[in-house]
């Protein structure tokens, strides 16, 4: 039986939406108040969804303690209580929109999850705005 | 990278489930207390999910400020603080079940969203009852 | 030990804010879109908070099954899937604002709860708007 | 129009993760504190998602009162306020992991839902851990 | 300025409501399905509310990292993934109703919190049932 | 009848906990990762609770549209999508802990609310950490 198991984590971070190839006016026009020079922030919630066969011995698709550890190491330890633009290498030159963030998070978790399992990642920026990535190009 | 972006809106409306082609007994049998002659109401929550490629310049699939505006114009301005049966033309003769509502909302938003993007709409009637439509016929 | 025990119920109802002693213009000015002639509606949530001594034998302040029954009889059976203005006697001439509703609900529950217990009632009209009454005049 | 309708139920149960074919050390290693001999418990939430054509007369995919009844009979009456390992036959020899539980729940509901409808079941063990099954083998 | 600071924790536990001084019939009559012999369980949420003056240097009423540690040591380490009746000494002979539990938790935390601060504890057994204790006798 | 009416607003902001009178080591010791030099952020939720007599004509304690406007002007317009330390004058030299923030917000709203009404303000920094102020010194 193929079951999807999901685990939620969270981190609190500052960010600023900005494209350094654009001038200030264009940045303000596209990103509005999200372009505020000194940044703003969110309580992000991230859900990793892993789909695979139930192991008949353990009754697990995968050990959720492992999934939790991967999410701590790849997400919480790197992003929690950080300024994404200034403190996190992967967003030094990549605009930390929710869309770009969910792809990066998916790529980081993908390396840790058994290749036989499918992976989807959902990222909530607020309760009203969220994004999801399943590896599609 | 194809990402799904989701945005939530809400509206408070009255409605009554009723099929005028049926007699009172049949209506009561099928719709139960939802058939109450003077109506009842809900705090509806609606989520639009739009899937498409991330624009490399903005880092956006689409501008969420635009999606928010479309949802205000097509959903909130039309349904919020209204009686769906009596005040909203599309439900004058169409029974405002959650199922019919989500299809109508999907059709209205579909015209506003870039055709290259996929659209799914989720409508919560209560926290315990909700429906979803992706355009399938 | 005096403990406060709380129990949540919910009902879905239509209502219209209107003062029949005022003209249409004044009603529209004060109540805005809540004055919509054909009504609108909400998923109401109501919480009864009862404070009293823990009974040493049962370990209960009061039997929550009783509190649940009182809330079904006094609130859910009367208001759920109703139009408050048209179907409920207590709001035939009393404007069903959340404030007036919470007082009425408190009065109805007060008669059912042991006089030695304190009672507070909270009523959520939406997740963003709610009211509370403790019997103060 | 093919719409997915979803309905939530809940039950409160005790369980213990344990594989009787393993020794105590192996059980503790794999299941950690979930292997606690006297069990622990959860407020489970379960959502049944049913996808099908909207009936043009009722405006329903299926009568949600029926779906609610099926969920009471197949889930709540069987699992609520029970010890899953000791009180529920299907988990007498099957380890009640969330993964195994969601498959069993899906199988029980599947027999009650019209075969022309698709069924997905989501089971929340906690707000942070949940699983989903759609019948895939 | 006296401010109330609140911190939430959670634990998953099994329990059974039972008074060993009563016979089986009386226990079943009072506690209903909560008396199930093999127990049931909950995802408990507990909130500690501490009221005191803001320290002008730190801007804190108390260090929330300390409050978090106290809650881990006094609540989570003792109750999480346990059977309250069988694994926890304080409930060996005290019926683990939510009312009795919140008093015990308050007493345990009270010894850890600075006496100049007021303490209130809220315990959610489910989203629909919760209790609160402030030390009143 | 004296009723408490409550209204929720939200804002997304960056902040850094820091006392410029302390050295780096002391700041890191007291504020931990909240002292991160480039800041972090939150989705703040703020609830204003206003208690007063129900006006017999309107059925309102106060017009919630007014309360909403006050909260937009005094809170959302000033703090949303801002860096509290760098963009907001009141936190230029006052450490933006949740405790200090809730006092400032209370003081700003207090000037806008009718003096005959009581005011309490609750501020959620995260779902797990929140503070409340009622004007007590």
Taking CB atoms and an 8 Å cutoff, what residues of chain E touch D82? Answer: 36, 38, 40
Banded pLDDT at D59 (limits 50, 70, 90):
very high
- Chain A nearest-CA residue for B54: A99
Give the model confidence (pLDDT) of F2-25 as tens digits.
999 999 999 999 999 999 999 999
Which position among A10, A34, A90, A132 bears the catalytic label? Answer: A34
**Residue F28: per-residue pLDDT:** 97
Q: What is the pLDDT of residues F75-115, one digit of tens each?
A: 999 999 999 999 999 999 999 999 999 999 999 999 999 99
Q: How far apart are CA C60 and CA E11, in angstroms?
A: 21
Decide if B32 touches D, using CB distance below 8 A. yes
Chains A, F: CB pairs < 8 Å: 77
Whose tokens are 């909240």? That residue is: F34
**Interchain proximity B2–A128, CB inside 8 Å:** no
Q: Does E80 touch chain D (CB under 8 A)?
A: yes
Q: Which residues contact B107 (CB under 8 A, 6 or more apart)?
A: none
Please answer whether residues F95 and F16 qualify as being in contact, where contact means their C-beta atoms are separated by less than 8 angstroms: no
**Does the beta-carbon distance from F38 to A87 stay under 8 Å?**
yes
How many angstroms away from the CA of B55 is the closest CA of chain D?
30
Of C100, C128, C136, the CB nearest to F59: C100
| Cβ pair B99:D57 closer than 8 A | no
A36 in reach of chain F (CB within 8 A) = yes
Distances from the Cα of A43 to the Cα of A13, A95, C107, D124, angstroms: 7, 18, 41, 22
Place F58 in a pLDDT band, splitting at 50, 70 and 90: very high
Q: Do C57 and E97 touch (CB under 8 A)?
A: no
Mean pLDDT of A128-135: 98
Confidence of residue F56 (pLDDT cuts 50, 70, 90): very high
CB contacts, 8 Å: F33 with chain A? 80-81
Residue C41 contacts B, CB cutoff 8 Å: yes
Record: contact B127-C43, CB cut-off 8 A: yes
Binned at pLDDT 50, 70 and 90, residue D45 comes out as very high
Give D-chain residues touching B96 at CB under 8 angstroms.
Answer: 59
Q: Which of B80, B87, B126 has its CB closest to that of C12?
A: B126
The average pLDDT across A10-35 equals: 97
For residue C67, the model assigns a pLDDT of: 97
Chain D residue numbers with beta carbons less than 8 Å from the beta carbon of A65 are: 32
> Which CA distances in Å does A124 have to A50, B68, B107, D100?
18, 16, 26, 28
C10 to chain B, minimum CA–CA distance in Å? 10
Q: What is the pLDDT of residues C90-127, one digit of tens each?
A: 999 999 999 999 999 999 999 999 999 999 999 999 99
Q: Does E100 sit within 8 Å of C59, measured CB to CB? A: yes
Find the domain containing B122 and state its range: 2-133
Q: Distance, in angstroms, between A79 CA and closest chain D CA? A: 19
Instruction: Tell me the β-bridge partners of B10.
Output: B45
The alpha-helical segments, DSSP class H, found in chain D are 24-31, 64-71, 77-79, 84-87, 98-110
Which among A15, A42, A117, A125 is annotated as catalytic? A125
Give the angle subtended at the CA of D129 by the CAs of D124 and D134, to the nearest 5°: 55
d(CA E60, CA E54) in angstroms, rounded, equals: 5
Q: Which residues pair with D50 in a beta bridge?
A: D5, D119
Measured in angstroms, the CA of A128 and the nearest CA of chain B are apart by: 5
Instruction: Tell whether F43 lies on the interface with A, counting CB pairs under 8 A.
Output: yes
One DSSP character per residue, B52-92 reads: EEPPTTT--SS-HHHHHHHHIIIIIHHHTTEEHHHH-GGGS
CB pairs under 8 A between E and F: 58
Report, as an integer, the average pLDDT of B65-92: 97
φ/ψ (deg, to 5) at F82: -125, 160
DSSP E117-135: SEEEEEEEEETTEEEEE-S
pLDDT digits (tens, 9 = 90+) for E89-117: 999 999 999 999 999 999 999 999 999 99
For residue range A38-51, list pLDDT tens digits in order. 999 999 999 999 99
Whether C57 sits among the annotated catalytic residues: the reply is: no
**Under an 8 A CB cutoff, do F64 and C137 touch?**
no
User: Using CB atoms, which residue from E10, E14, E42 is nearest to D38?
Assistant: E14
* Tokens representing residue B109 in the block: 């938003």
Instruction: Judge: B40–C15 Cβ closer than 8 Å, yes or no.
Output: no
Residues of B in contact with A22 (CB under 8 A): 57
Residue A125: per-residue pLDDT: 98
Number of structural domains in chain B: 1
Q: Does any CB of chain D come closer than 8 Å to the CB of residue E34? A: yes
List Cβ<8 Å contacts ≥24 apart for D128-131.
D128/A7, D128/A8, D129/A5, D129/A6, D129/A7, D129/A8, D129/A64, D129/D98, D130/A5, D130/A6, D130/D98, D131/A3, D131/A4, D131/A5, D131/A6, D131/A61, D131/D98, D131/D99, D131/D101, D131/D102
Give the residue from chain E lying closest to D87, CA to CA.
E38
Confidence of residue E77 (pLDDT cuts 50, 70, 90): very high
Average pLDDT over residues C69-77: 98
F90, F92, F98, F102 alpha-carbon torsion, rounded to 10°: -10
Catalytic site positions of F = 34, 81, 125
Of chain B, the percentage scoring pLDDT greater than 70 comes to 100
Of A19, A94, A103, the CB nearest to B58: A19
| Chains linked to C by 3 or more Cβ pairs within 8 Å | B, E, F
- Are the Cβ atoms of C39 and B34 closer than 8 angstroms? no
Token reading at A126: 């607020």
Calpha distance E4→E117 (Å, rounded) = 9
Q: Is B76 a catalytic residue?
A: no
Q: Is A81 an active-site residue?
A: yes
D33:E87 CB<8 A? no
| Number of helices followed by number of strands (H, E) in chain C | 5, 5
The pair of three-digit structure tokens given for residue D92, joined into one six-digit string: 């007498």
- pLDDT band at residue A62 under the 50/70/90 scheme: very high
Residue-wise pLDDT tens digits, D87-118: 999 999 999 999 999 999 999 999 999 999 99
ipTM tops the 0.90 cut = yes
E119: confidence class by pLDDT, cuts 50, 70, 90: very high
Tell me if chain A has a CB within 8 Å of the CB of F96: no
- Asked whether the beta carbons of residue C97 and residue F58 sit closer than 8 angstroms, the reply is yes
Q: Which residue of D has its CA nearest to E16?
A: D81
Q: Does A8 touch chain D (CB under 8 A)?
A: yes
**pLDDT band at E83; cut points 50, 70, 90:** very high
The pLDDT value given to residue F95: 98
Closest-CA distance of chain A to residue F11, Å:
9
Average pLDDT over residues B73-78: 98
In the structure encoding, which two tokens stand for residue D80, read together? 């609520």
Q: How many CB pairs under 8 A join B and D?
A: 58
Q: What is the mean pLDDT of residues B2-28?
A: 98
pLDDT at F6: 98
Q: What number of other Cβ atoms are within 10 A of residue F41's Cβ?
A: 27
The structure tokens listed for A129 are: 């705005």
Q: What pLDDT shows up at residue C36?
A: 98
Q: Which of E29, E40, E73, E81 is catalytic?
A: E81
pLDDT, tens digit, for every residue of E50-63?
999 999 999 999 99
> What is the pLDDT, as a whole number, of residue E53?
98
Task: Determine the residue among A38, A89, A130 to mutate to test chain F binding: the one whose Cβ has the most chain F Cβ atoms within 10 Å.
Answer: A38
Q: Do B12 and C80 touch (CB under 8 A)?
A: no
The closest CB to that of F81, out of A10, A33, A43, belongs to: A33
Q: Any chain F CB within 8 A of the CB of E127?
A: no
Q: Do chains C and B touch, with touching meaning 3 or more CB–CB pairs less than 8 Å apart?
A: yes
Listed by number, the residues of chain A in 12-31 with a beta carbon closer than 8 Å to a beta carbon of chain F are 12-15
CATH number of the domain that E98 lies in? 3.30.479.10
């Amino acid at each position: 039986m193929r079951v999807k198991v999901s685990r939620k984590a969270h981190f609190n971070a500052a960010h600023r939406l900005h494209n350094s190839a654009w001038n200030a006016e264009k940045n303000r026009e596209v990103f509005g108040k999200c372009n505020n020079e000194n940044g703003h922030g969110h309580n992000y919630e991230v859900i990793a969804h892993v789909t695979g066969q139930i192991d008949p011995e353990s009754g697990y698709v995968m050990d959720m303690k492992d999934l939790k550890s991967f999410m701590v190491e790849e997400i919480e330890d790197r992003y929690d209580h950080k300024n994404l633009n200034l403190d996190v290498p992967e967003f030094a030159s990549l605009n930390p929109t929710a869309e770009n963030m969910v792809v990066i998070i998916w790529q980081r978790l993908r390396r840790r999850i058994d290749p036989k399992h499918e992976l989807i990642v959902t990222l909530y920026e607020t309760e009203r705005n969220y994004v999801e990535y399943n590896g599609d190009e």
